[in-house]
Amino acid sequence: MKYQRPKGTADILPGDSEKWQYVEQTARQVFKTYQFKEIRTPMFENFEVFSRSAGDTSDIVTKEMYDFHDKGDRHVTLRPEGTAGVVRAFVENKLYGPQVLKPYKVYYMGPMFRYERPQSGRLREFHQLGVEAFGSESAALDVEVIAMGFHLLKQFGLNDLKLVINTLGDQATRDAYRQALIDYLEPHFDELSDDSKARLHKNPLRVLDSKAPEDQAFVADAPSILDYLTPEAQTHFDQAKAYLDALDIPYEIDATMVRGLDYYNHTIFEIMTHSKALGRGYTTICAGGRYNGLVKELGGPEVSGVGFGLGVERLLVLMDAEKVAMPTDDQLDVYVVGIGDNASVTTLKLVQAVRNAGYTAERDYLDRKPKAQFKSADRLNARYTMTVGDTEIADQVVNLKDMATGKEQQVAMADVAATLKALLASH
């Protein structure tokens, strides 16, 4: 029997995992400057957490859910996205309470699961970094979140970015626009894709998000939500645009952008990049928006939220394509070379002493000759080798060699840690 990883999953091996660590560390640093703290929620939730939040006409819920009944017959879902679980946790832990500072700002990073057709940058288990901020209706917070997404992508060395924004307005806006869309699409009902036929009356905004070619012509000429904004919704959108202008963040407005999830209102946005690595045209790498009704939908009080999610696999494909230099951790501090049968215990103690002092150390475990051990030291890019044979053991010293200069010195075994500390301090 030959085992293979499940379709649409990936093994992240050493050599690549360093890149993931770099991305995660960089994100943590950026999030910290904006005062977002990490939240960790379960990898699976009750099915309703997602069906209620993402909307039961969304692609995610209708086609892409990894849901199943567990042995206790509970209907659970591997999380397809991060926001719903965070909102569930926000409500369950009463993070809206008076003792909690507002806005409440959190970030998460981890795997998400969607049953999709795997292709470049599209997997069944993929990873997102995301942020959520609760408890302020200010458009300044929308823009802080957008600016943070931009900041992050710039920090990752990506510069060919395009910000596209839209507004979905408030409830009154949605209601008016919904009717306008139905009126516009109904005469073309027979020409729509099957998905769009099914969604037209339940949720006509979904039709705008359709990827089916037969729907595209109607999307292009659809009425614009911008013509249906209430004065309040217009003000919020105008403020968001003014704040973006103030930060010199360029943007385009796409009035047909609705995003794949039902819970958004007011400002929504996508940050796109143009890269052949991810196929033709623009690809969305970071997407999000405001969701003022979601906390209530999941059983909490009326508390607003805004956030984004960013796909890590797509980010890494882009960083590779753009040849972004990532720091690689490929230096070893010390390789201990043991000569002869008697050196084994001393070698063991020496690597342990070096590691206890906080430095990286490696040795041979295959009884190889000194020459082969030095070769390993080279391959591992060792800064120093420490050689011990019968003479050194008798004298309780090691032969310490600087691999860059070739300079050698004898160091008392008792002084190994202190000597390394002095030498490596300059690196």
The rounded Cα 345 to chain-centroid distance in angstroms is 45
The helix/strand/coil state of 53 is helix
Three-class secondary structure assignment of 198-259? HHCCCCCHHHHCCCCHHHHHHHHCCCCHHHHCCHHHHHHHHHHHHHHHHCCCCCEECCCCCC
Write down the least CB distance from residue 36 to ligand ATP, Å. Answer: 17
Residues that bind ligand ATP (CB under 6 A): 81, 114, 116, 121-123, 126, 128, 260, 284-285, 287, 309, 311, 313-314
Write down the least CB distance from residue 109 to ligand ATP, Å. Answer: 12
- Answer whether 256's CB lies under 8 Å from 219's CB: yes
- Of 123 and 240, CB closest to ligand ATP: 123
Write down the least CB distance from residue 285 to ligand ATP, Å. Answer: 5
- Of 149 and 338, CB closest to ligand ATP: 149
Beta pairing class for 252-253 and 161-167: parallel
- Of 55 and 338, CB closest to ligand ATP: 55
Write down the least CB distance from residue 64 to ligand ATP, Å. Answer: 8
Write down the least CB distance from residue 116 to ligand ATP, Å. Answer: 5
Tell me the residue number closest to ligand ATP, measured at CB: 311
Write down the least CB distance from residue 192 to ligand ATP, Å. Answer: 19
- Of 128 and 136, CB closest to ligand ATP: 128
- Of 240 and 272, CB closest to ligand ATP: 272
Q: How many CA atoms lie within 13 A of 343 on its CB side?
A: 24
- Of 126 and 218, CB closest to ligand ATP: 126
* Spatial CB neighbours of 301, under 8 Å, sequence gap ≥ 6: 96, 295
Phi, psi of 410 (to 5 degrees): -95, 135
Handedness of CA 242, 247, 251, 257 (dihedral sign): negative
Phi, psi of 63 (to 5 degrees): -125, -25
